[in-house]
């Protein structure tokens, strides 16, 4: 929504003070300019003052709005004192500018409001779920009636039913008729969910899956909600059309991309529930593995992606971690006999030994090895151990500021290849947690993909040569 909307705004469920103002979309945020001051617990001091974000409600053009995650950007007060001669124009108005994260159109809704159904569109969804009633044998037969594709229905955790389906728009005239499909994802839960729960536990994981499958950033748009009907269906209850971040802009599908995974390649009714469940445990690795529209420096990207790989290994191996460490026990006994170490010192040293007993190199080897020996031999061209050694050494040099003689951590080509291989290992391992077959089945799925073929046949670096440089340093 690019146009400006004007109305009155207030805080708290009871609008004791209403302030006029205008709202407009500016980049990724909503900007609210008020003529007046909202009565909130925001104060200024000569040092940093951190205050909670506000939830601001509004009524504009006959519609109610909720601006969530709002923070005060600036406040201006009258420059003169009342009663003084202000000249021809009196400067007697206060003014505030707020920036908000999310706009809900259709109601003044508290944060704990429950919704029982939501629908959303995601750019790239048509590629990820290619079923259609407008192409293929059905379309070629030129049938008189349009038959929509069979929806994909998955029973997800916490009683959520996820449905992928084709919403249609039909236009007809005296001598023309057209049908457009819009692939949509719906979530339904009888017990209801808040907007925060919906976004964190359902939409974000599904968005990450689609982005990883397409190896491209994707956008979420057209999010619509249906309020949960109260028990007893009280008279006068209305299900308002709730729209989140209303906008006329929609993401474009990139037909030139080559998806790694689509709903035709695997049973998504089984994979989707497990993927959503895995997102609760593996949030940091999943976030690092998802393609992002903006990136930092190459060194920072490598550090983050390898840290995410280490985190994923620790999360997946929490239960089988050894309770006792022979090396830690020996260190503890040695410290007891040594002078100058109290009990607190001994605990810190023993804890550090236990934490680092399994090296990052070994963790990376295990993480990749769980994708299968045949897959590792194919994907790394027989150099999985070299990848683990080089990746771990470079990450440690970048994270801890180690001085090296090989200087691989300064080589942009090496950093890019480390980043690419490590990111795909995380992605494949996450998909394997959700039920994607590994080893030869994974090779078969990826063998003809241009992006993967281009990566495994890269000639930017030579794993043997880099490993040799490290061994000589």
What whole-number distance in Å separates Cα of residue 371 and Cα of residue 428?
8
- In angstroms, the CA 291 to CA 213 distance is 10
What pLDDT does 295 receive? 76
HSE on the CB side for 159, CA within 13 Å?
Answer: 7
pLDDT of 252: 52
Q: What is the pLDDT along the chain (473 residues), one digit of tens a residue?
A: 567 889 999 998 777 889 999 999 998 899 999 999 888 865 555 555 567 789 999 999 889 999 999 998 888 877 655 455 555 455 557 889 999 999 999 999 999 999 999 999 999 999 999 988 777 655 555 555 778 889 999 999 899 999 999 988 777 777 777 788 889 999 999 999 999 999 999 999 999 999 999 999 999 999 999 998 877 666 655 566 899 998 755 555 555 568 999 999 999 999 999 999 999 999 999 999 999 887 789 999 999 999 999 999 999 988 655 555 666 667 666 766 777 777 776 676 666 655 566 789 999 999 999 999 999 999 999 999 999 999 999 999 999 888 889 999 999 999 999 999 999 999 999 999 999 999 999 999 999 999 999 999 999 999 999 999 988 76
The whole-number pLDDT of residue 332 equals 66
Among 307, 301, 302, residue whose Cα is nearest residue 284: 307
Please tell me the predicted confidence (pLDDT) of residue 293. 84
d(CA 110, CA 345): 50
**Which residue, 458, 433, 432, 457, is CA-closest to 445?**
432
Q: Scan for tokens 């939830």, then name that residue.
A: 55
Alpha-carbon distance of 362 to 349, in angstroms, equals 21
DSSP-derived 3-state class of residue 59: strand
d(CA 27, CA 51): 24
Q: Where does 194-297 have alpha helices with state H?
A: 195-197, 204-214, 268-281, 283-289
State the distance between the two ends of the chain, measured CA to CA, in whole angstroms: 58
Q: Read off the DSSP letter of residue 53.
A: -
Main-chain dihedrals φ then ψ at residue 97, nearest 5 degrees:
-125, 125
């Amino acid at each position: 929504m690019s146009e400006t909307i004007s109305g009155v705004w207030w805080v708290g469920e009871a609008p004791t003070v209403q302030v006029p103002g205008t709202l407009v979309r500016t980049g990724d945020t909503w900007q609210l300019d008020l003529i007046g001051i909202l009565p909130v617990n925001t104060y200024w001091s000569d040092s940093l003052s951190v205050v909670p974000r506000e939830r601001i409600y509004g009524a504009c053009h006959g519609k109610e709005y909720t601006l969530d995650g709002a923070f005060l950007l600036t406040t201006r007060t009258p420059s003169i004192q009342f009663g003084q001669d202000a000249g021809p124009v009196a400067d007697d108005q206060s003014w505030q500018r707020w920036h908000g994260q999310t706009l809900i159109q259709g109601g003044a809704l508290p944060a704990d409001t429950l919704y029982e159904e939501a629908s959303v569109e995601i750019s790239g969804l048509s590629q990820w779920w290619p079923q259609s009633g407008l192409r293929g044998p059905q379309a070629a037969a030129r049938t008189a009636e349009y038959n929509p594709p069979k929806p994909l229905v998955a029973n997800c955790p916490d009683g959520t039913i996820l449905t992928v389906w084709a919403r249609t728009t039909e236009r007809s005239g005296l001598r023309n008729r057209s049908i457009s499909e819009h692939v949509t994802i719906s979530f339904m839960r009888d017990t209801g969910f808040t907007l925060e729960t919906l976004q964190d536990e359902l939409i974000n994981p599904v968005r990450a899956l689609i982005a990883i499958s397409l190896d491209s950033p994707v956008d979420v748009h057209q999010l619509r909600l249906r309020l949960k009907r109260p028990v007893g269906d009280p008279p006068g209850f209305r299900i308002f059309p709730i729209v989140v971040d209303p906008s006329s802009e929609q993401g474009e599908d990139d037909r030139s991309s080559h998806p790694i995974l689509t709903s035709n390649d695997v049973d998504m009714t089984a994979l989707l529930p497990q993927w959503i469940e895995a997102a609760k445990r593996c949030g940091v690795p999943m976030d690092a593995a998802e393609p992002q529209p903006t990136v930092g420096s190459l060194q920072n990207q490598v550090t983050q992606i390898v840290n995410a790989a280490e985190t994923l290994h620790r999360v997946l191996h929490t239960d089988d971690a050894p309770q006792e460490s022979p090396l830690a026990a020996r260190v503890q006994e040695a410290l007891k006999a040594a002078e100058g170490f109290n009990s607190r010192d001994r605990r810190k040293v023993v804890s550090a030994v236990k934490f680092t007993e399994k090296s990052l190199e070994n963790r990376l080897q295990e993480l990749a090895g769980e994708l299968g020996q045949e897959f590792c031999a194919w994907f790394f061209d027989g150099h999985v151990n070299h990848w683990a050694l080089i990746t771990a050494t470079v990450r440690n040099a970048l994270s801890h500021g180690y001085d090296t003689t090989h200087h691989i951590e300064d080589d942009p080509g090496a950093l890019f290849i480390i980043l690419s291989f490590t990111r795909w290992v995380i992605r494949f391992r996450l998909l394997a947690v959700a039920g994607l077959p590994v080893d030869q089945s994974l090779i078969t799925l990826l063998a003809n993909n241009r992006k993967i073929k281009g990566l495994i046949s890269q000639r930017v670096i030579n794993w043997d040569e880099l490993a040799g440089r490290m061994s000589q340093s």
